[in-house]
């Protein structure tokens, strides 16, 4: 087993790069065979990854089962995190931040993960119909019962983070962050730094846009990018011009585009932990190698110039999904 640099995740210490497990059977078209997905998870452990991120929502619970199946046979210490509020109820996607729903979801996650304790559980989204204090309170009670270890938030604004943190210390905030997606720079990164909260960056390669995986809008069935404005035409063709310049910059420095994006994310703050996801062992190995890469100072300004306002068109989410996002939006960000 390889040893990676580590970073704090609330009271925990984890590898500086974690693994986002969602795409192993959720949201990106036809999933891989289970044996292939398990092989990716095993290889991640071999490479020194100790942080594995899943959620009740992913694969209608099957993602949690997959992760549990894969890691059950390993003796190396790992940290499993999951999420509640977003779930499937009676076969339908549900957003419910009430204490009863949170308790029900976490109990289900415990069963699927085959454990009596989850290291950290996030509120996956903000339920605007329930005060954040009530939702956090439900997790506090689960923590007091020994069922979870720490509390996190996902895709929430600095104002919401502060309200939640006043109820109970928040260990981690998870949001999308990459050279393309800068929303956390508005206020969330600073709030996390000030309050001593880890920032967990999901999609640090911009859903494949900064990993050479998106060259056209010809997506597989059930690929969520087909519903995301910046990944569909006419926006995509415009956005790929900036991506081409970024890819050339990575090549000039002897890095893959994904490695540059992950190394950039790591360099934005000692409290930041990227969790790229992949179905490929080769790509996993490339991603993890970024943990020990050092970037020249000038590359940050070069990346900022490539992805200056206007370089990327289209919102992160379609309007219905954006309505569930509490994270701040940038002045130039299109919401449709």
Report d(CA 55, CA 112) in Å as an integer: 11
Phi, psi (deg, nearest 5) at residue 52: -125, 125
Using an 8 Å Cβ cutoff, are 171 and 151 in contact? yes
Which long-range contacts link 23-27 to residues 24+ away (Cβ below 8 Å)?
Answer: 23/277, 23/278, 23/279, 24/63, 24/66, 24/277, 24/279, 25/58, 25/59, 25/62, 25/63, 25/66, 26/57, 26/58, 26/59, 26/62, 26/63, 27/58, 27/222, 27/223, 27/224
Report d(CA 79, CA 44) in Å as an integer: 13
Residue 117 token pair: 């304790």
Cross-strand bridge partners of residue 223: 28
Report d(CA 208, CA 126) in Å as an integer: 26
The answer to whether 177 is a known catalytic residue is: no
Report d(CA 23, CA 59) in Å as an integer: 9
**What is the chain's length?**
336
Buried b (16+ CB within 10 A) or exposed e, 64-92: bbbbbbbbeeeeeebbbbbbbbbbbeeee
Q: CA angle, 194 as apex, 191 and 196 as ends, to 5°? A: 100
From 28, 58, 122, 317, active-site residue: 58
Residues labelled catalytic: 58
């Amino acid at each position: 087993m390889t040893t990676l640099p580590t970073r704090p995740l609330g009271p925990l210490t984890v590898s500086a790069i974690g693994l986002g497990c969602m795409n192993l059977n959720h949201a990106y078209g036809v999933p891989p065979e289970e044996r292939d997905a398990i092989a990716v998870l095993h290889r991640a452990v071999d490479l020194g990854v100790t942080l594995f991120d899943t959620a009740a929502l992913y694969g209608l619970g099957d993602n949690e089962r997959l992760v549990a199946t894969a890691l059950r046979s390993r003796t190396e210490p790992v940290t499993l995190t999951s999420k509640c509020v977003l779930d499937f109820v009676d076969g339908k996607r549900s957003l419910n931040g009430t204490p009863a729903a949170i308790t029900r979801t976490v109990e289900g996650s415990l069963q699927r993960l085959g454990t009596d304790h989850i290291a950290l559980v996030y509120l996956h989204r903000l339920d605007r119909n329930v005060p954040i204090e009530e939702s956090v309170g439900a997790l506090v009670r689960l923590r007091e019962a020994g069922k979870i270890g720490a509390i996190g938030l996902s895709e929430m604004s600095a104002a919401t983070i502060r309200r939640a943190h006043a109820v109970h210390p928040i260990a981690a905030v998870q949001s999308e962050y990459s050279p393309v997606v800068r929303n956390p720079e508005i206020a969330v990164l600073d709030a996390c730094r000030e309050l001593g909260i880890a920032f967990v960056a999901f999609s640090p390669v911009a859903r494949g846009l900064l990993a050479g995986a998106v060259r056209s809008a010809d997506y597989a069935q059930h690929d969520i990018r087909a519903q995301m404005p910046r990944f569909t035409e006419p926006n995509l063709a415009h956005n790929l011009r900036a991506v081409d310049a970024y890819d050339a910059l990575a090549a000039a420095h002897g890095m893959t585009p994904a490695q540059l994006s992950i190394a950039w994310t790591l360099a934005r703050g000692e409290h930041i932990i990227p969790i790229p996801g992949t179905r490929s062992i080769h790509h996993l190995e490339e991603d993890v190698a970024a943990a020990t890469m050092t970037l020249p100072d000038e590359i940050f300004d070069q990346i900022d110039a490539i992805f200056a306002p206007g370089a990327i068109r289209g919102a992160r989410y379609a309007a219905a999904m954006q309505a569930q996002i509490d994270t701040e939006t940038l002045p130039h960000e299109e919401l449709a």
